[in-house]
Chains A and B, each alone.
Chain A
Amino acid sequence: MGFALVAGIGIERATKVFARTTAIKGISLDIKDGEFMVLLGPSGCGKTTLLRCVAGLEHLDDGRITIGDRDVTDLAPRHRGIAMVFQSYAVFPHMTVEDNIGFGLRMHRRPKAEITRRVAEGAELLGLTSLLARYPAQLSGGQRQRVAVARALVMDAPVLLMDEPLSNLDALLRLQARADLKRLHKEVKRTTIYVTHDQVEAMSMGDRIAVMREGSIEQVGAPMEIYDRPASQFVGGFIGSPPMNFLRGSVRAGSFEGDGFAFPISRVPPKVDGRGLLLGVRAEHLRIGDQGVPARISVVEPLGDHALVTALVGKTPIKVQAPIDVRAKPDDDVRLAFDESKARWMDAETGAAL
Chain B
Amino acid sequence: MNARVLDRTLVYGGAILLAVWVLIPLYLVAISAFTPQARLFDYPKPLVPTTFSTETMQFFLEARGVIPSVINSILVALFTIAFGLALGTPAGYALARFRFRGRQAFQVIVLATKMFPIAILSIPLAVTFLQLGLYDNLIAVALVHTAMALPFIILVTGGVFVAVSHELEEAAQTLGCSRWGAFLRVALPLALPGLAAAAIFTFVISWNEVFAATILTLRTRTLPAQVLAGLGTSPLGFKFAGGLFMAMPAVAFIFLIRRYLMNLWGSR
Chain A interfacial positions (CB closer than 8 Å to B): 19, 55-57, 76-78, 82-84, 86-88, 90, 92-94, 103-104, 107-108, 148, 151-152, 155, 161
Contact = CB atoms under 8 A, between A and B. Distances in A.
Given A90-B167, A90-B168, A92-B168, A84 B174 contact: yes
A56 B186 CA distance: 19
Contacts of A76: 173, 178-179
Given A55-B170, A76-B179, A88-B165, 15 more contacts: A57-B174, A76-B173, A76-B178, A78-B178, A83-B174, A86-B167, A86-B170, A88-B167, A90-B168, A92-B171, A103-B176, A107-B176, A148-B171, A151-B175, A152-B174
A86 B175 contact: no
A78 B176 contact: yes
Interface of B: 99, 165, 167-168, 170-179, 181, 186, 189-190
Nearest to B175: A104
Contacts of B186: 92
Most buried by A among B165, B168, B173, B175: B175
A107 B174 contact: no
B74 to A, nearest CB: 30
A90 B175 CA distance: 11
A108 B189 CA distance: 20
Most buried by B among A78, A82, A103, A152: A78
Nearest to B99: A19
Contacts of A151: 175
Nearest to A151: B175
A162 B189 CA distance: 26
Contact of B189 (A78, A94, A107): A94
Contacts of B174: 55-57, 77-78, 82-84, 152, 161
Contacts of A19: 99
Contacts of A77: 170, 173-174
The 6 closest A-B pairs by CB, nearest first: A107-B176, A104-B175, A90-B171, A90-B167, A84-B174, A77-B173
19 contacts: A55-B174, A56-B173, A57-B170, A76-B179, A77-B174, A78-B173, A78-B174, A78-B178, A83-B174, A84-B171, A86-B167, A86-B171, A87-B167, A92-B186, A94-B190, A103-B175, A104-B175, A104-B176, A148-B171
Contacts of A57: 170, 173-174
B165 A155 contact: no
Contacts of B168: 90, 92-93
Contacts of A55: 170, 174
Given A90-B165, A93-B190, A83 B175 contact: yes
A228 B181 CA distance: 48
Contacts of A92: 168, 171-172, 186
A57 B182 CA distance: 13
A103 B174 CA distance: 11
A104 B175 CA distance: 4
Contacts of B181: 107
Contacts of A90: 165, 167-168, 170-171
B121 to A, nearest CB: 37
A78 B179 CA distance: 10
Contacts of A107: 172, 175-177, 181
Contacts of B175: 78, 83, 103-104, 107, 151, 155
B6 to A, nearest CB: 40
A196 B181 CA distance: 30
Contacts of A56: 173-174
Nearest to B166: A90
A103 B172 contact: yes
B230 to A, nearest CB: 49
Contacts of A104: 175-176
Contacts of B178: 76, 78
Contacts of A88: 165, 167
B187 to A, nearest CB: 10
Contacts of B170: 55, 57, 77, 84, 86, 90
A219 B41 CA distance: 90
Nearest to A93: B190
Contacts of A155: 175-176
A67 to B, nearest CB: 13
A90 B190 CA distance: 13
A82 B174 CA distance: 7
Contacts of B172: 92, 103, 107
A242 to B, nearest CB: 34
A262 B101 CA distance: 59
A337 to B, nearest CB: 51
A56 B173 CA distance: 9
A83 B175 CA distance: 7
A88 B171 CA distance: 10
- Residue from the set A55, A77, A151 with the largest chain B CB neighbour count within 10 Å: A77
Contacts of A84: 170-171, 174
Nearest to B186: A92
A312 to B, nearest CB: 47
Nearest to B190: A94
Contact of B176 (A86, A87, A108, A148): A108
